């Protein structure tokens, strides 16, 4: 048939491709970020993980831009696990820097943008799988080139993915767990398999399992005309993978990618045996070109026909059967020869777990404490290890464990305790204490009386802690000056939470605030938000001397400074604020005071309370008749 000698450009291309594709594509430690919440595909991956005894689930996170969920539950064996959900790939990658595979299940309208974004996250993704079919060819070529330039392997578009048996599998490749085990995809064999078709990938995996010992690695490169990693990329990688002893290549009518493999074999870049076949030989019986199932499955020249390529591969020294029906025998012959030569050795079958047939979803989730076993725990710490004074744990430590699932350093837990002590009480005249006292005097129990006091906590009583943190942080995050912040709040028609006091002023400072500022100055690593707030205070007190930074504002602002110093992300801190964590400190602290007032009323035996009429402005007019 007389193939042309390889050009210098082609030879350089092959060498570069070999350099970029060294080693196995996936291992048992590989983790993926799954773009789009395809629940059935994710569950199949996790079932596979469970069966092969993976330590870590292969799906680290899900990206679902339209989802409001923070996590999704999936089964891992009989139990359930929580997979976190993110709104974008950047956030997911930041949370899981070791997840180096992106499984792009976006539609063909979105898949290009998702892949391009993933490629630009430097040092994150080694492999991107694109399942979408029909990405515009101009965009596909641009995407594939960008991936090559970045050293990222793209599998697809229009693919089911790939598998490293016994290590990692992509989504639905291999089919059901039963089919995976029957096809020996639960552990590594000795064959490297590369196809275009996903359906034929599964079929060939089964054929190889029957006639040999299964596959060590397999990739379905995808059916679109322009795919990311082509045959030669994957075969060169398998050539350098010591687990792969021989390879099976299933090409098809259309395109010229098989000729790069031919040149690699001729030049000695590939030395391992290759069993090869191009499907679509029936096309020669049609009078005109026929478009088969894949976008790339159409011959535009003689060299692109299946028959022509099969002949060329045979001439290059590959093992090419007479027909597809003869492929199983060819695989068996090559495998047997390698076994006899000692290149392929006996594989010890691993112990496998069985996925339960019946699994029940849990109705509740708890991530802070566990009452199973001999002793209950707080975020992993047995209660006995935190409860008594000699343990060194205080109430601030317990709060950090149960509220934030972290053990904070002493300066931070001491601050939490300082906050609780600071807000414990502010006398009987405030609304919450007044309510609690009135209810206690009505003969109600401690809990009922406490609740009436707690119900007053909100925007006008105690709630300024949340809002002060929220608005001062908002201004600081956006680089506003103190004057710009004051103007912003004025335009929003809102008073500045955390600024102002009914009694205290510049000349009569609130010593609680002074104490908090002193503690922060001595123990906090830095207080940038407090510094900003104090600059705001200078402007507000220049207008009226009681527009000081009050205790609620100081507590909320220093909480933000504390969390920043502890390494939380800005989104984490925003989440704490939106969840009401800051007001929770006021609730805990003020409950101490409310209970004190309630017990005081009980101790004094105070009678039923009735408000004096001379303290009420009555303005009652005769009702109009209708």
The residues annotated as belonging to the active site are 294
Query: Which strands, in side-by-side order, build the sheet including 153-155?
Result: 71-76, 79-86, 59-63, 32-35, 101-104, 127-130, 153-155
CB 541 within 8 A of CB 509: no
Rg of the chain on CA atoms, in Å: 34
- Of 147, 214, 218, 162, residue with least CA distance to 186: 214
DSSP letter for 304, please: G
Q: Per the structure block, which two tokens stand in for 291?
A: 């478009």
Cis peptide, bond prior to residue 157, ω within 30 of zero:
yes
Q: Rounded to 5, what percent of the chain is helix, strand, coil?
A: 45, 10, 40
- Do 266 and 258 meet the contact criterion of CB atoms below 8 Å apart? no
CA distance 103 to 32: 7
Question: Which 3-state string (H, E, C) describes 369-403?
Answer: EECCCCCCEECCEEHHHCCCHHHCCCHHHHHHHHH
Please name which of 169, 180, 190, 301 lies closest in space to residue 243, comparing C-alpha atoms: 190
Written in H, E and C, the secondary structure of 316-373 is CCCECCCCHHHHHHHHHHHHHHHHHCCCCCCCCCCCCCCCCCCCCCCCCCCCCEECCC
Q: Kindly give, in sequence order, each residue whose CB lies less than 8 Å from that of residue 520, ignoring residues fewer than 6 positions away.
A: 415, 527, 530, 558, 561
> In a 3-state reduction of DSSP, which class is residue 282?
helix
In angstroms, rounded to a whole number, what is the distance separating the alpha carbons of residues 174 and 185?
7
Structure tokens belonging to residue 19: 């350099």
Output the six-digit token pair for 128.
């991107």
Of the candidates 413, 415, 414, 400, which has an alpha carbon nearest to the alpha carbon of residue 530? 415
DSSP category for residue 458: B
Determine the distance from the C-alpha atom of residue 411 to the mean position of all C-alpha atoms in its chain, rounded to a whole number: 31
- Rounded distance between C-alpha atoms, residue 114 and residue 2, angstroms: 43
Question: Residues 147, 128: contact at Cβ < 8 Å?
Answer: yes
- How far is it, in rounded angstroms, from Cα 240 to Cα 234? 10
Beta carbons within 10 angstroms of residue 562's beta carbon: 23
Cβ count near 337 (within 10 Å) = 14
Residue 217's nearest CA partner among 241, 183, 253 is: 241
Q: Which residues in 33-63 are b (16+ Cβ under 10 Å) and which e?
A: bbbbbbeebbebbbbbbbbbebeebbbbbbb
For residues 296 and 203, what is the distance between their CA atoms, to the nearest angstrom?
A: 20
């Amino acid at each position: 048939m007389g193939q042309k000698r390889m050009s210098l450009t082609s030879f350089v291309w092959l060498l570069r491709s070999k350099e970029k594709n060294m080693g196995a594509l996936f291992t048992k430690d590989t983790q993926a970020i799954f773009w789009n919440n395809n629940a059935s595909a994710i569950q199949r991956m996790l079932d596979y993980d469970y069966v092969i005894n993976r330590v870590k689930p292969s799906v680290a996170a899900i990206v679902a831009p339209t989802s409001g969920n923070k996590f999704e539950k999936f089964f891992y064996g009989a139990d359930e696990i929580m997979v976190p959900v993110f709104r974008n790939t950047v956030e997911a990658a930041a949370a899981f820097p070791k997840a180096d595979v992106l499984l792009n299940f976006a539609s063909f309208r979105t898949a290009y943008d998702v892949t391009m974004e993933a490629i630009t996250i430097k040092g994150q993704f080694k492999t991107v799988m694109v399942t979408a079919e029909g990405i515009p060819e101009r965009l596909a070529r641009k995407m594939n080139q960008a991936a090559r330039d970045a050293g990222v392997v793209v599998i697809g578009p229009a693919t089911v993915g790939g598998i490293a048996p016994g290590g990692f599998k992509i989504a639905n490749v291999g089919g059901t767990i039963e089919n995976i085990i029957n096809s020996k995809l639960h552990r590594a064999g000795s064959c490297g398999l590369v196809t275009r078709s996903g359906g034929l990938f599964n079929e060939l995996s089964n054929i190889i399992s029957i006639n040999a010992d299964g596959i060590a690695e397999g990739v379905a490169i995808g059916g679109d005309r322009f795919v990311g990693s082509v045959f030669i990329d994957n075969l060169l990688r398998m050539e350098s993978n010591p687990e792969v002893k021989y390879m099976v290549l299933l090409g098809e009518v259309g395109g010229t990618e098989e000729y790069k493999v031919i040149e690699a074999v001729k030049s000695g870049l590939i030395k391992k045996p290759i069993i090869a076949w191009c499907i679509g030989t029936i096309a020669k019986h049609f009078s005109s070109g026929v478009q088969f199932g894949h976008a790339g499955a159409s011959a535009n020249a003689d060299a692109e026909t299946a028959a022509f390529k099969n002949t060329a591969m045979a001439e290059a020294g590959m093992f090419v059967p007479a027909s597809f029906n003869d492929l199983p025998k060819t695989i068996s012959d090559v495998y047997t020869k390698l076994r006899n030569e000692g290149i392929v050795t006996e594989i010890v079958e691993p112990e496998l777990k069985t996925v339960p047939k019946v699994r029940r979803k849990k109705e509740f989730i708890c991530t802070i404490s566990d009452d199973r076993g001999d002793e209950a725990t707080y975020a992993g710490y047995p209660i006995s290890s935190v409860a008594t004074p000699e343990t060194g744990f205080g109430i601030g430590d317990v709060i950090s464990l149960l509220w934030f699932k972290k053990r904070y350093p002493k300066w931070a837990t001491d601050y939490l305790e300082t906050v609780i002590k600071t807000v414990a009480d502010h006398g009987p005249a405030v609304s919450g204490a007044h309510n609690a006292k009135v209810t206690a005097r009505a003969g109600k129990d401690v809990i009922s009386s406490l609740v009436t006091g707690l119900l007053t906590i909100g925007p006008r009583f105690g709630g300024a802690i949340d809002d002060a943190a929220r608005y001062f942080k908002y201004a600081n995050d956006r680089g506003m000056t103190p004057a710009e912040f004051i103007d912003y709040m004025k335009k929003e028609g809102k008073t500045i939470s955390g600024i102002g006091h009914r009694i205290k002023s510049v000349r009569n400072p609130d010593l609680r605030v002074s104490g908090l500022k002193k503690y922060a100055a001595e123990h906090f690593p830095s207080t940038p938000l407090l510094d900003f707030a104090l600059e705001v205070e200078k402007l507000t007190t220049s207008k009226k001397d009681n527009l000081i930074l009050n205790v609620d504002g100081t507590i909320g602002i220093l909480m933000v400074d504390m969390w920043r110093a502890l390494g939380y992300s800005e989104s984490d801190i925003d989440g704490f604020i939106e969840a009401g964590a800051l007001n929770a400190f006021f609730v805990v602290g003020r409950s101490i005071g409310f209970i004190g007032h309630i017990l005081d009323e009980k101790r004094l035996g105070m009678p039923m309370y009735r408000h004096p009429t001379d303290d009420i402005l009555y303005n009652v007019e005769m009702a109009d008749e209708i």
